[in-house]
Amino acid sequence: MAGHSATEGWAPTGIDTSVPSIARVYDAMLGGKDNFAVDRAVAEKVRGVLPISKESAWEHREVLARGVRYLTSQGIDQFLDLGSGLPTVQNTHQVAQAANPKARVVYVDNDPIVLTHGRALLAGDARTKVVTADLRDPADVLSRPEVRELIDLDRPLGLLLVGVVHHLADTEDPAGVVKQYLDAAAPGSFLFLTHFRSQPPTTDALEQVFLSMLGSGRFRTQTEIEALFEGLEMVEPGVVELPRWRPDGPLPQATDGPSNLIAAGAGRKPA
């Protein structure tokens, strides 16, 4: 975000700069400025294992925009973006409202720094809100006044879980959490989700970095990721590596490279 130096002096009250945060590490991987030395140390370590991690992070932002554009093309005009992260470029509300100026977006993140920066970006935007909440508690998220004000659960919505479900441990029942949101959503709603996909041995080393330095970051198998879409009609081409999910240009060739380390998919809740 513009206007900050990357020194620790700008930290808003209540932000702990002594431990890395997922949102700030991701910002560091994207080359942003809303991060501290402790976050950059994790990003650096990831880069040591995966030299093209910055490109992967940007591929991830691009697939988010394609996912939002696809959902708007299907008539979706309200979005719940869970684990939304720090604002950067092509944020969900900007992409959605470029397609449909009346589109409404609620960003949900459990890191308070997201709210601090979101407020500045969204001042005066009545169709977009930021909520600090833990997505692992769907009942709490769905009862928040901002969510109730902007999201009509009786109409189809776009549920975005981009780059966040891999931060839920197996013991936290990620599939069960996703299902609670889908159960609350109207038929015709879409889930758009991306997830770290295991590809040993590279991902074993990366998982070690994430788990040891950040406390979360699970690489799950294709089958485990597909299970998160249970009960939905899958959108073509299914769960695939990021560059192959509905690219704007020609379909890239399949690769065994680092692009494979994150997969994306979308599914529609049937009537």
Applying CB under 6 A, which residues contact ligand SAM?
22-23, 26, 60-61, 64, 83-85, 108-111, 114, 134-136, 162-164, 167
- What is the C-alpha separation between 33 and 8, in angstroms, rounded? 11
Nearest approach, Cβ of 45 to ligand SAM (angstroms)?
A: 16
| Shorter beta-carbon distance to ligand SAM: residue 87 or 267 | 87
CB of 153 to ligand SAM, least distance (A): 19
C-alpha span between 228 and 223 (Å, rounded): 9
Residue nearest to ligand SAM (CB): 85
CB closer to ligand SAM, 196 vs 229: 196
Measured from the CB atom, is 132 or 202 closer to ligand SAM? 132
Task: Please tell me the number of Cα atoms within 13 Å of 68 on its side-chain side.
Answer: 28
Query: Shortest Cβ distance from residue 270 to ligand SAM (Å)?
Result: 26
Query: Considering the complex, what minimum distance in angstroms separates the CB of residue 211 from ligand SAM?
Result: 14
User: Does residue 237 have a cis peptide bond before it, meaning omega lies within 30 degrees of 0?
Assistant: yes
Nearest approach in angstroms of CB 235 to ligand SAM is: 18
Nearer to ligand SAM by C-beta: 56 or 154?
Answer: 56
**Euclidean distance between CA atoms 93 and 75, whole angstroms:** 15
The single-letter code of the amino acid at 104 is R
- Please say which residue, 136 or 269, places its beta carbon nearer to ligand SAM: 136
